Amino acid sequence: MTCLGKPFDLSARGELLRDPENAAVYLEEILESGNIELFQEALRNVAKAQEGGVKGVAAKANLNGENLYDAFSAKGKPKI
């Protein structure tokens, strides 16, 4: 696999990330890189691309939206 730098620009690719299969491939590739910060950013990108954005994902998962925003932030420390 090639070295990954940053996730792709959502303004051009958000529609692709709404598709569960595309999102899964995107996340899997980044997770395989071993770069957890990059994976965290990728999770945020996928969440933002969904209907309702991060807030919509939190509502569907019965999670607090603020906690999910915090977990996806650059300073967040989610555990896998």
- In the predicted model, what is the mean pLDDT of residues 4-17? 66
Residue 80 has pLDDT above 60, yes or no: no
Instruction: Quote the pLDDT of residue 9.
Output: 56
* Residue 70 pLDDT: 82
Q: pLDDT tens-digit profile of 32-78?
A: 999 988 998 899 999 999 999 989 999 999 988 888 888 887 777 76
pTM: 0.75
Question: Collapsing DSSP states into helix, strand and coil, what is residue 5?
Answer: coil
SS3 80: coil
- What integer pLDDT is reported at residue 25 of this predicted model? 94
DSSP state string for 43-79 = HHHHHHHSTTHHHHHHHHTT--HHHHHHHHSTT----
